[in-house]
Amino acid sequence: MERDFWDVGTGTPTPRTEAEREQIKLQAAYSNGIAIGLFLIGGLSIPSTILVNVGQGWLAIAVAMLCFLASFALHKFAKRTLRELDK
């Protein structure tokens, strides 16, 4: 359950607890870890295997591009999560 950022009575921001700040950092680190794994496994390993074993370059490029885009999206999500620390 997320705590309201604004105090309804005064309209001023309420400070986050240290535990809430650490949870935000943990969520961002986890998302970035998934993004890195997706980039390495899906963007490099699988396309390399396809090229060596099957020889279908178009499939390798398609898999790599899909994984690169998904990795980028996860990284942007993590970055947006860290912006919550400034609130």
What one-character-per-residue DSSP string does 5-31 give?
SB-TTT--BPPPPHHHHHHHHHHHHHH
pLDDT of residue 1: 41
Beta bridge mates, 13? 6
Is the pTM higher than 0.85? The answer reads no
Closest CA to 66 of 87, 39, 84, 85: 39
Tokens of 3: 């705590």
pLDDT of residue 74: 92
Along the 87 residues of the chain, how does pLDDT read in single tens digits?
Answer: 445 455 555 666 677 788 888 888 999 999 999 999 998 888 888 888 887 887 778 888 888 889 899 999 999 999 888 888 876
